[in-house]
Amino acid sequence: MAGGVWRWPVTLGSSMSVDFDPMEVRFGDGYAQRVRRVSAAQKRSYKVRADHRRESEIMDMVAFLDALAGVDSFDFIPRDTGQPVRVRCKAYSVTYSGQTWGDLSAEFEIVREWP
């Protein structure tokens, strides 16, 4: 199920990371052999922040992410490419900095969906 589009701007300084995920076989004598995976050889993710937002906006973001429950993907447009990518969010955190303001931090993992 498609989860919609992330419509909130993220704070400058949000970042992308890449984690290579080779297939590895270890043998009893300590020898290990690694090969590239045919699909999903890289795990890419964006660490995003929405800083100093009104509590109502934070609650909208939380409701959006909670509805997807880390399972369903959604479109996100990163600043570096400006092109939408399909991502999912398995975890986020919210910090309140006053009565009506807060910050949200999350990690969006790029997913590959097969037709």
Domain locations along the chain: 2-19+42-110
Is pLDDT larger for residue 97 or for residue 84?
A: 84
pLDDT at 63 over 90: yes
Residue 34 pLDDT: 78
Average per-residue pLDDT for the chain: 82
- The CA distance from 53 to 9, in Å, is 10
pLDDT at 35 over 80: no
> In this structure, what token pair is assigned to residue 95?
């910090």
Residue 37 pLDDT: 67
Task: Write the single-letter amino acid at 61.
Answer: M
Confidence of residue 1 (pLDDT cuts 50, 70, 90): very low
Tell me if 73 sits within 8 A of 3, measured CB to CB. Answer: yes
Which residues pair with residue 49 across a beta bridge? 105
